[in-house]
Amino acid sequence: MSSIRKRPNSKYYWWDSQYEGKRLRKSTKMKKKSLAKKIQDRWDYSVMTGDLEFYGISDKPSSNIDNFFDHFLQLRSRKSEKTFKSSKSIINRFRLYLSDNKVSRIDKISVTVLDKYIDFLQCKPKSKKNYLVEISLLLNQAIREELISSNPAKFVTLPVIKCEGHRLLDDDDLNIIFAGAGRWSLYYLTLLHTGLRSGDVAMLKYGNIDREKGAIISLVRKSRRIHEFPLTNQLINEIPNLDGNTPIFPDLYETNEIKLGTKMSTPRKHMQALLKAENRKHATLHSFRVTYNNQLRDFGCSIEDRQILLAHSTSETTKIYTHPNFELAQRYINLLPNYAIKQM
């Protein structure tokens, strides 16, 4: 039960009540008791229904940086382990920067604040973009929960991203790599002769190989679609004909995305060490995919055909997606150079 009364040091009537054991006191800003009584009735009804927004207590997430960031991370914890781990790292680093710069409310994060933060980050342009994407997700959540009206991250200028690591491998690079490839030679050859992403190759099983047709039928992890890719004659001969459920690359095969990335660092670092020893430019496993695309282009393969072979584009999600002229695609890929490999 609430009451209204005048306090000795105030000319207004004050409302006094309780909610869940907590005392609530607030000035009605009214000098007349009859008017204060009307406000008392309205506030009593709000307390009864649990709506304390008039008192500054709301079920909405707080606009306080720490409270809202914790709330956002709780939502992100519903995502995959890898996504949540990345999100938590980015958000907590941004939280520390805001604290150091006396920004305590979500609505105080402006374009200027974000521009300065992007400049403050000591990392590559691509990493800066990843940071901004995550921060933008956080701010979009704040919009949905009516804490801010617009997303300042949309107006931030990012540095230009140069993909120097994903460069084309020339004949000298490839000769160096395959000469010292060792146990990774079949893995490298599969990357070069299929154009598949490194993680997709790592997850291949012998059952994905259709020897009669000369094709790989596999799920492309990025698009979540099943694609059919032509195999070169060398790959058909080099890949052993073993039990269908056995991974082709058991040292790499891993269903956990984080562990998969860790495992793939071994052949990546091996390749990079071979190139570095010969004073060649830095490259990545994705460089095989870039090289595959460029070599097919040089052979006269159209951009439309290459998009299909690289699994870049299709709106179909319920069928095995294959090249409409599979034999033509096979002729193109069999123009790719062969390399001697070490049997596994």
pLDDT digits (tens, 9 = 90+) for 221-263: 666 677 788 899 999 999 988 878 899 999 999 888 778 888 9
Tell whether 338 is covered by a domain: no
Determine the average pLDDT of the residues in 59-67: 71
d(CA 33, CA 335): 94
Give the pLDDT confidence score for residue 49 in this predicted structure. 64
Reported confidence tier of residue 131, pLDDT bands at 50, 70, 90: very high
Tell whether 243 is covered by a domain: yes
Tell whether 104 is covered by a domain: yes
Q: Tokens 């979009």: give the residue.
A: 140
Tell whether 344 is covered by a domain: no
Whether the predicted pLDDT of 315 surpasses 50: no
Element at 13 (helix H, strand E): strand 13-19
Structure tokens given for 166: 């994903």
The residue segments making up the domain with residue 98 are: 65-155
Tell whether 161 is covered by a domain: no
Tell whether 96 is covered by a domain: yes
Tell whether 316 is covered by a domain: yes
Q: DSSP code of 21?
A: T
Whether the predicted pLDDT of 77 surpasses 60: yes
Give the pLDDT confidence score for residue 160 in this predicted structure. 66
d(CA 309, CA 303): 10
Reported confidence tier of residue 306, pLDDT bands at 50, 70, 90: confident
d(CA 297, CA 248): 29
φ, ψ at 48 (rounded to 5°) = -65, -35
Q: Are residues 79 and 49 in the same domain?
A: no
> What is the pTM for the complete model shown?
0.54
Give the pLDDT confidence score for residue 82 in this predicted structure. 84
What's the number of domains the chain is made of? 3
Q: Are residues 267 and 217 in the same domain?
A: yes
Give the pLDDT confidence score for residue 255 in this predicted structure. 84
